[in-house]
Chains A and B, each alone.
Chain A
C-alpha cells in the first residue's frame, strides 16, 4: 500500500484549511466503510487523506428554518436512532437501519454514502424521495446547494471538486399528512448490497381517503437513485386499494425494465420490484387496505 499523509481536523475551519492544498489525490475519510476497502483493493491511491470523523459541526441532527438538517458525518446508527429523523423523515431512519450491519452503521456516514456514489446506496432513494438538498462548501468557505441526486457523476464518481466537502443534508419538512416508507431487497438480511431499494413519500388525506401527492424513488436500477413520475401519477388522486397497488407495482416494473433494458439482472429485477412495491404500499396503506 502506498504511504500517504493523514490530517485529522477537529473542526470545520481546520478541515477547510486542509482542503486548501487539495488535489485529485486528496481523499476525505469519514466512516471509511467504503474508503478502506477501496484503499486495500488499490482502486484508490491517495497521497493525502483528511479524516473528518472528528469534526463535531458535521455530526449534528437538527430542525431549523423548515428543514431537517443532518450533518454529513452523522453515522447511520445516529440517524436510525434519532427521534427527530424517525418523526420527520421516517423512510430515512428506516433506510439507515438497513445499511450493512451494526458495525457498518456505527462507522458509515450519510455524507460518505452520498459522495461514494454507489448506485445501490441505501440512503439515496429515501433522500431523493424526500427532496433532499446537499450543502457543499469549498476551501474558501464558499457554499453551494444541489439536489442530492446531482452529487453522483456516474458509478463511484461525484461532482465535487478537489477542494470541496459535503457539510450538510437538508430535507424540507413535511406536513402532518405525509407518510413515508423505505424497502430494500438484498441477498440476505444484513451485510447485503441492495439489489433494489425504494422509498415512497406520500401526502394522504385521511378523511377523503385520497393520495394527494406522491414521490417515489428507486435505487440500484440505474447509476443513481431516481424519481419516477410515471409511477407517482398512478397514485396521485386515487384511493389506496388492492387494484391501485397492483397497478402501481406493474408501473414500477415497467420503469425498471426501461431503466436497465440491457442489464442481465433486468428480467429478475422487473419481477422482484413488484414484490417490493407491494410491501411498501402495504406499509403505507395497511389501514386503507384492511377496510
Chain B
C-alpha cells in the first residue's frame, strides 16, 4: 500500500500558477538588458550573395549586428545531425533560417536595424513534396548529400506475399496526415547574460537544459561548466522545445555585447522557429483470414522532415515500429522514410511518429471488420496484444499489457453512455461511434543510452530536497517526483522541494519527451530517495536499538519498527541526530531504460515499456454543413500505475484536445515552403467550447521495472483520438476521410462522391 503515490495532491506549482506568480521567460527582467532580434529573408530557398550590416550598425542604440562570421565555435545545430546553421551565410533552405542577429537598446532601434540589414540573394528552385524529393533528379536540399532521403528503415518479419495470397480479405489504401503545429501557449522567449564569473547564463523554457547547454557550448566554443541553462516555468512544449531556437543565438548576442539580452517572440515568429509534426503519407495493405485474424501488414511510410533532420530518423523509426498497431501480425513488411524538402523543418511532437500510423491502421481494422461482417470491437479483441505476444519487431511483451482491460472497460462504459441515443437525429444530423486502439513504446529507444539522474538530500529537520535535471513542462513531473520522494522517505508532499532543470545545480535527467520522465526520472528519484533513507536508517538502528534496518519503515513522518510500531522516532528528531553523528543522508540515483537496436530486418526490442490506450468517440455529423461535433469520449489508458490520478486525467483530457485538433481542424498550410497560417486565427486548435464530455478510465497493469509499476501517459493520451473520430464519422454517415484534417469541405465532397456513386 502506498501512502502518497496514487493520490492526487495538487501540483506543487499549482497555487502559484493560478495566482499568476510563476515566472515564464518573458516575465524575467534584468537591468540594462538589450532587445534581441532575428533577421530572415522572405523566401524559403535561396543562395545568399552578400550581407551588408554597415547601415544597421550605424542605427543609434544598436549594440551588435552579428552574422555567421561572429560565431566562435560550430555554426551548426541539431539534436542528431548538425545540419541547421545557427546563422545562415551561404544558403537558405527554409523559412526557419536566420541570416543575422541584432541587439539594441530599445525596440525601435532593433526594428530599424533589422530593416537596414542589406541581403542580396538569388532564389533557387526548391522541392516541397517529399515524394517528389525522393526522385534522384530533384534538387538537393543539402548539396553535400547524395539524396534527399535522410533515413530509411525496414521491418521484415515472415512472408507477407504468401500471407496475402492466403488471406480472406485484403484492404489496401493510402492515408495522409498534414504538417501540424504544437500550438503551445507560450511563444519562445529567453533572457541571456554573462554572470559575475563570466559564465554564459540563459533562462529559457526548454525540454532539456543539459542538451541546450551542450549545443550552446559547442557553438560558443566554451567548456560545459561555463554555460548555465536555467529552465523557467514552461508554457507547454509537446516536443516543440527540443531543438535550438533562441538558445545559441541569444547567448551569442550576450557574449558579444557583454550585456544581458532578452528576446520574446510573437506567435508568427514562433510558428517559424520551432519544428512541426511530420506530414506523412502512409500506404497500407492489410490482410486477415475469414475469422478476422490479421495475417499480414505491408506499409510504406514517407515523412516530410523539411529542411533539417531534427529527430526525423527516430520519428520515422517509431512510426515503423508502431505501424501494425497493437495487434499480433505474423507477417510484416514496413518501409519507412524520412525525406528532406524545403518545407519548414519537422521534429518531435507528442506521439513522435506513433501518432500518424493509427490514422491508417485503425481505419484498416474497421474496414476489414466491415468486409467480414464483424463488429469493430470484436476484431480488435481477437487481435490485440496480450502478455507473452510478440510484436512486429519480434519483441516479447513479457509484462504490463493492459490492452484487453482498456478495450473491455472503454467499450462497456461507452455502451452505457450511447445505448439510449438515436442514430438518426434528423434527416441531416447523424450520430456515430468509433473506436481506436493504440500503443506507444516509451523512451528514446533503439539502444540509445536513456539515462536519468537525481539526488535526494534529507535535511536536519527531516524535510527533503530533490535535485533532478528533468524539466516540468506543465505535465507535473515535479509533483510526481515530490510524491515519489515523499513516499519513499515517509514524508508529506509538502515536506519535499523539487529543484529541477538547472544545469548548474541539477544532474542530467534527459529530455522531457518520449513519455519518459515518470518512468525514467521517477525511477532515479526513487533510487536516490532509498539511498538517503538507508543512511537515515543507520541512525535509526541506534536510536530504536534494533540490530538491522530490515524491519524498519518510514511513514507519516516517523521511522518505526514494522512489527512493533510503538517503537518509533520522528523524522525531525532522527535527522537531527544523524547530522550530529556526522551522517549526511544524501542519495544519488541513476536509471537507464533498456532497449536494443533494430537489426537489418528491423528486428529487436526497440522500446520498453509499452503503454496502451483505447478511446471510444461519439460524434454527430451534419451532412449539410459537414460539421462534426464530438459529444463524448471514453478514454481507457493503461499507465501501469497512476502516481497522481488527477494529473493522469489531465493528460488524458489534454491528449484528447490535441487529438481532436489533429482530427478535425489543424493543418499548417504550406505554399512553396511558406507558412500561410502562422497565427491562431487561422491555425485552429479546439477551444473549451469544442471539448466533448470526457470519461477517463485509468487501467493499472503494473510494469515491474517502473516506479510503483508506473509507465506513462503523456503521449499515449492523444494517439487514439483522431482515428476514433474518423471511424465515428464513417459510422455516422458512411464516408471515410483518409486525409486529415476532416474538414467540413472534405466531408461534403466525400458525401457528394458517395451519392454520385449510387
Contacts and interface: CB of A to CB of B under 8 A. Distances in A.
A, B bound: yes
Interface of A: 101, 185, 187-193, 268, 271-272, 274-276, 278
B689 A188 contact: yes
Contacts of A275: 428, 622-625, 627
B690 A272 contact: no
Interface string B682-697: 0010111110000000
Contacts of B744: 187, 268, 272
Contacts of A188: 665, 684, 686-687, 689-690
A189 B680 CA distance: 14
24 contacts: A101-B687, A185-B625, A187-B743, A187-B744, A188-B665, A188-B687, A188-B690, A189-B689, A190-B687, A190-B688, A191-B680, A191-B681, A191-B687, A193-B681, A271-B625, A271-B748, A272-B625, A272-B748, A274-B428, A275-B622, A275-B627, A278-B426, A278-B428, A278-B624
A101 B623 CA distance: 26
Given A192-B684, A272-B625, 11 more contacts: A185-B627, A188-B690, A189-B689, A190-B690, A191-B687, A271-B626, A272-B744, A274-B624, A275-B622, A275-B623, A275-B624
Contact of A187 (B428, B680, B684): B684
Contacts of A185: 625, 627
Interface of B: 426, 428, 622-627, 665, 680-681, 684, 686-690, 743-745, 748
A189 B624 contact: no
A35 to B, nearest CB: 15
Contacts of B681: 191, 193
Contacts of B428: 274-275, 278
B687 A276 contact: no
Contacts of B684: 187-188, 192
A117 to B, nearest CB: 18
A268 B748 contact: yes
Contacts of A190: 687-690
Contact of A272 (B624, B665, B689): B624
B746 to A, nearest CB: 10
Given A190-B690, A191-B687, A276 B665 contact: no
Contacts of A276: 625
A190 B689 CA distance: 6
A156 to B, nearest CB: 15
A189 B626 contact: no
Contacts of B627: 185, 275
A272 B626 contact: yes
Nearest to A185: B625
B745 A268 contact: yes
A263 B687 CA distance: 28
A101 B688 CA distance: 10
B19 to A, nearest CB: 19
B755 to A, nearest CB: 12
A91 B85 CA distance: 56
Nearest to A2: B108
Contacts of B690: 188-190
A36 B689 CA distance: 25
A278 B425 CA distance: 13
A268 B689 contact: no
B748 A189 contact: no
Contacts of B625: 185, 271-272, 275-276
A268 B626 contact: yes
A101 B687 CA distance: 9
A275 B686 CA distance: 22
B665 A187 contact: yes
A185 to B, nearest CB: 6
A211 B686 CA distance: 39
A272 B681 CA distance: 21
Contacts of B743: 187
A190 B686 CA distance: 9
Nearest to A196: B625
A60 to B, nearest CB: 30
B624 A271 contact: yes
What are the 7 closest A-B residue pairs judged by CB atoms, nearest first?
A: A275-B624, A189-B689, A275-B625, A190-B689, A190-B687, A272-B625, A274-B624
Contacts of B686: 188
A171 B579 CA distance: 81
A125 B680 CA distance: 25
Nearest to A40: B266
B471 to A, nearest CB: 30
A227 to B, nearest CB: 22
Contacts of A274: 428, 624
B431 to A, nearest CB: 16
Contacts of B426: 278
A251 to B, nearest CB: 15
A38 to B, nearest CB: 12
Contacts of B622: 275
A191 B680 CA distance: 9
A124 B216 CA distance: 54
Nearest to B625: A275
A84 to B, nearest CB: 26
Contacts of A272: 624-626, 744, 748
A136 B743 CA distance: 42
Nearest to B622: A275
Contacts of B748: 268, 271-272
A239 B221 CA distance: 82
Contacts of B623: 275
B627 to A, nearest CB: 7
B451 to A, nearest CB: 42
Nearest to A188: B690
A255 B292 CA distance: 51
Contacts of B688: 190
Contacts of A187: 665, 684, 743-744
A123 B748 CA distance: 28
A192 B682 CA distance: 9
